Amino acid sequence: MSAEANAEQAEYWGGYEGQHWAAEQDRYDRMLDPFNEVLVGAAVESASDRVIDVGCGNGSTSRALARALPEGHVLGVDLSEPMLERARATAEAEGIANVEFVRADAQSHGFPTGGADAVASRFGIMFFDDPVAAFANLRTALRDGGRLAVMCWRDALENEWIAVPAGALLEHLPMPDLGAPGQPGPFSLADPDHTRAILAEAGFADVGLEPLDRPNRFGTDLDDATAFLRSTSFGKGMFEGADPATVERALDALREASAPYLGPDGLVLGSAAWLVTARRLG
């Protein structure tokens, strides 16, 4: 593997952010697992499929794919060793043997040419330094007719999980960098025309985007959700350098803005994504 292509992302996900996701594995799974069923349905056509899960993180999607492939195999790849450690341990604890986890940069990793029936990803494909090169590399990993089924976030303003807390905090704190349009970041593929153009340039055909909306269980109550947000890189970036009085005003605003979303299942915020599908033809 060449780590240079996405060196900044490798450092980011190999450091605090990856450690945070590993430590909060159960919470992140509760937040994002509502997307798994659709992703598996789009990626899997046969019980014997070979699937690459890009940006597999703690391995929830890899395990879901593996359970749908009793005669197949899943290769989960990620840059974050802390998260891969959790992925391996959880798969072993659940007795899932048809999955393998490898630290690899999907943009440059030498996957066997034509060795996969499908490439899947749940929010792991927005961080490439060169997305055209990355998707072109993933295309070479697919057999002729092989499928791409990946998920990315729609615009930040459509996602309550970021819009609600950011809107409250921005009254008191500066906005952290979420990545410029077209640059690596959680919303780099939010523009559907931009995403279609990338995949077409990478050689994919039959590109389609389907909007998906799912609940995002952010925390058990306001205190739990607030503490979690402050522990994320996003929260740390916003609160960094703020004086105690400003911090308290910001937290009060955050709790007030979040309160309407509190219900029997805890603090539930909406999330808005694209299911992106395509094929390698020729």
- Residue 231 falls within a domain, yes or no? no
CA 201 to chain CA centroid, Å, is 23
CA distance 269 to 182: 26
| CB count in 10 Å sphere of residue 223 | 11
Please give the torsion angle defined by the CA atoms of residues 76, 82, 85 and 87, in that order, rounded to the nearest 10 degrees.
-50
Q: Is residue 24 part of a domain?
A: yes
| Number of compact structural domains in the chain | 1
User: The domain that contains 131 carries what CATH number?
Assistant: 3.40.50.150
- Cβ distance 225 to 267 under 8 Å? yes
Q: What is the pLDDT of residue 1?
A: 35
What residues make up the domain containing 36?
7-156+180-217+272-279
- How far, in Å, CA of 150 to CA of 191, rounded? 15
Q: How confident is the model at residue 178, as a pLDDT?
A: 57
**Tokens, residue 237:** 């970036």
Residue 251 within a domain:
no
Residue 208 lies in a domain: yes
Length of the chain: 282
pLDDT at position 181, please? 59
CA dihedral 64, 69, 73, 78 (to 10 degrees): -20
Cα–Cα distance for residue pair 85/216, rounded to 1 Å: 25
Alpha-carbon torsion angle 257, 259, 264, 266, nearest 10:
60
Four-CA torsion 240, 182, 82, 161, nearest 10 degrees: 60
In degrees rounded to 5, what are phi and psi of residue 55? 65, 50
What pLDDT sits at residue 55?
97
For 125-159, the pLDDT digits (tens) are 999 999 999 999 999 999 999 999 999 999 999 99
The alpha carbons of the chain give a radius of gyration, in whole angstroms, of 19
What pTM does this model have?
Answer: 0.94
Decide if 188 is inside a domain. Answer: yes
pLDDT score, position 179: 56
pLDDT tens for each residue of the chain, 282 residues long: 344 577 888 888 888 999 999 999 999 999 999 999 999 999 999 999 999 999 999 999 999 999 999 999 999 999 999 999 999 999 999 999 999 999 999 999 999 999 999 999 999 999 999 999 999 999 999 999 999 999 999 999 999 999 999 999 999 998 766 555 567 899 999 999 999 999 999 999 999 999 999 999 999 999 999 999 999 988 888 898 899 999 999 999 999 999 999 999 999 999 999 999 999 998
- Residue 61, domain member (yes or no): yes
- Both tokens assigned to 192: 């559907």
Task: Name, in order, each residue with C-beta under 8 angstroms of 233's C-beta and a sequence gap of 6 or more.
Answer: 16, 17, 20, 176
Q: Is 186 a domain residue?
A: yes
* Domain annotation covers residue 233: no
